[in-house]
Structures are given as C-alpha cells and as structure tokens.
C-alpha cells in the first residue's frame, strides 16, 4: 500500500496587502477569458496572487512556507456565492463567483490576523 502523508503549511508570508472597494475587487477579477472567483472567509472578501515558482519558492513551499505576493480585500459580512458587477463597458452585468473558504485553516488564520493587524 502507498503511504499517504498530509503536510499542511505552517507559515504564510504575505508581501503586500491592500484594502480596496468591493467593486474594485470585482473589477480586477474580470479577464479577457472570463471571470476569476474570489475567496470569502469570516466576513472578508479577498483575492491573492502567489509568487512564481522559483527554486527558492519551491524549497520554502516544501518546508511548509507559502508566499502570497499580494492580497486585495474588502469587508463583506455575509457570504454570497455570486456577486454582480454592473459596468457600462461590459454592456450588462458580469457575475463573479465567490468561494466560501472558511473550511481552510490557513484562510481562517489569515483573516483573523488581517482583522487584528490591518485597520480599515
């Protein structure tokens, strides 16, 4: 039988955090190929981008350290699975999916840290 191991991350390094309006957060998820989902956890709507996988980033990742290059967030008390962005340039409404990530220990810990360290 194959041995299965579970090794969750034990450190998250965030290099930039920016609070933006919910509308700006929705706008940034619109791409030429469609829309990208947002994360929601414990009253915070957010997106993050990871560092490109280099030798150093891969080494950190294997040691349990994850790097997020940038996080954009906006308060949103209640979870909603679809948010509509109404912009004239899109000639109608664009729907943005929202994923409830409250089951993620890392996301819960990040949002708890965010709420106690970033005043917005």
pLDDT of 118 strictly over 90: no
Could you tell me the pTM of the whole model? Answer: 0.89
Spatial contact of 20 and 72, defined as CB atoms under 8 Å apart: yes
What is the tens place of the pLDDT at every residue in 67-103? Answer: 999 999 999 999 999 999 887 666 778 899 999 999 9
Share of the chain above pLDDT 90, in %: 79
Spatial contact of 83 and 30, defined as CB atoms under 8 Å apart: no
pLDDT of 106 strictly over 60: yes
Residues 6+ apart with CB under 8 A from 51: 15, 57, 67, 68, 69
Per-residue pLDDT band for 120 (boundaries 50, 70, 90) equals: low
C-alpha 74/C-alpha 29 separation (Å) is 14
Cα–Cα nearest to 79, from 119, 39, 113: 39
Q: Across the strands, what pairs with 48?
A: 71
Nearest 5°: phi and psi at 64? Answer: 95, 10
């Amino acid at each position: 039988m194959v041995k299965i191991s579970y090794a969750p991350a034990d450190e998250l390094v965030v290099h930039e955090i920016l609070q933006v309006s919910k509308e700006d957060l929705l706008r940034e998820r619109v791409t030429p190929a469609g829309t990208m989902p947002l994360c929601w956890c414990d009253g915070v709507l957010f997106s993050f981008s990871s560092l490109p996988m280099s030798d150093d980033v891969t080494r950190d990742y294997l040691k349990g350290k994850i790097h997020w290059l940038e996080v954009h967030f906006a308060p949103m008390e209640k979870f909603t699975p679809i948010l509509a962005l109404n912009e004239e340039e899109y000639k109608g409404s664009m729907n943005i999916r929202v994923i409830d990530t409250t089951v993620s220990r890392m996301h819960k810990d990040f949002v708890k840290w965010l709420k106690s360290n970033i005043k917005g």
